[in-house]
């Protein structure tokens, strides 16, 4: 069986760099090369410090490809994953070209159950930690007609879909955004108004 190894001194070591310094935490990147026999596999690991993780981290098995024992790691709860992607959508506004985040959000709202209180708390804590204001009316620009009918956004979504057609199902960008908005806007609105939100989301919705 082929063995996977990582670089050693003879390969030049590994590199690290500061990725972001524009918010109250820090993100560092560590990059190195793994070898599967003669195949080179570049790997980058992004490391965040000071994030508001809500609820606390959970232990999960990290899947392996070669039948090795799966390492058990502390991982972000899905509520914080959603909150951080939403915060990026709000902060970037019309400049947002991160189509993978839209894809991820749609998959999450279609396949997972969510507790409204935990998700609302994650939104509140993440936005507060990163110094980003929640939209006044609870609806991010990314979920409005000005965004999902923007010609450049449609082109970006089509390009992303075609590049990743092996796992991205064909769907119009405005339809995808509508699915996400149905999931997130009620919670975003509650977090903005600083009120409780106790509904439950089942895969595909709606909140009940």
For residue 85, being part of any structural domain is answered with yes
Give how far Cα 200 sits from Cα of 11, 181, 190, Å.
Answer: 51, 16, 14
Cα atoms found within 13 Å of the Cα of residue 135, Cβ hemisphere only: 22
For residue 82, being part of any structural domain is answered with yes
Number of domains, the chain:
1
**pLDDT value at position 197?**
97
**pLDDT value at position 3?**
47
For residue 18, being part of any structural domain is answered with no
pTM strictly above 0.75:
yes
**pLDDT value at position 25?**
59
**pLDDT value at position 16?**
58
What is the C-alpha to C-alpha distance for residues 196 and 208, in angstroms, rounded to an integer?
Answer: 14
For residue 127, being part of any structural domain is answered with yes
What is the C-alpha to C-alpha distance for residues 58 and 18, in angstroms, rounded to an integer?
Answer: 26
Give 32's strand partners. Answer: 43
pLDDT by residue for the chain (208 residues), tens digit each? 444 444 444 455 566 565 555 555 567 788 888 888 888 888 888 777 788 999 999 899 999 888 889 999 999 899 999 999 999 999 999 999 999 999 999 999 999 999 999 999 999 999 999 999 999 888 999 999 999 999 999 999 999 999 999 999 999 999 999 999 999 999 999 999 999 999 999 999 999 9
For residue 132, being part of any structural domain is answered with yes
For residue 73, being part of any structural domain is answered with no
Sign of CA dihedral 142, 143, 147, 151: positive
**pLDDT value at position 128?**
94
For residue 99, being part of any structural domain is answered with yes
Identify the domain containing residue 115 by its residue range.
78-201
For residue 143, being part of any structural domain is answered with yes
Q: What is residue 70's three-state secondary structure?
A: coil
Q: CA 76, 119, 192: angle at the middle one, nearest 5?
A: 125
């Amino acid at each position: 069986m082929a063995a996977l190894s990582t670089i050693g001194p003879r390969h030049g070591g590994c590199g690290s760099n500061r990725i972001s310094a524009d918010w109250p935490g820090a993100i560092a990147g560590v990059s190195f090369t793994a070898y599967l026999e003669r195949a080179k596999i570049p790997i980058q690991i992004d490391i965040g410090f000071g994030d508001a993780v809500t609820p606390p981290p959970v232990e999960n098995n990290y899947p392996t490809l070669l039948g090795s024992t799966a390492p058990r790691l502390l991982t972000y709860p899905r509520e914080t994953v959603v909150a951080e992607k939403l915060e990026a959508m709000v902060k970037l506004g019309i400049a947002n070209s991160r189509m993978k985040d839209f894809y991820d959000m749609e998959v999450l709202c279609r396949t997972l159950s969510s507790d409204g209180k935990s998700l609302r708390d994650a939104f509140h804590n993440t936005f507060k930690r990163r110094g980003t204001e929640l939209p006044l009316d609870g609806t991010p620009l990314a979920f409005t007609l000005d965004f999902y009918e923007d010609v450049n956004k449609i082109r970006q979504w089509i390009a992303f879909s075609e590049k990743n057609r092996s796992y991205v199902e064909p769907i119009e960008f405005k339809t995808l955004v509508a699915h996400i908005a149905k999931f997130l806007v009620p919670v975003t609105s509650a977090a903005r108004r600083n009120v409780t939100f106790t509904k439950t989301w089942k895969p595909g919705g709606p909140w009940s």
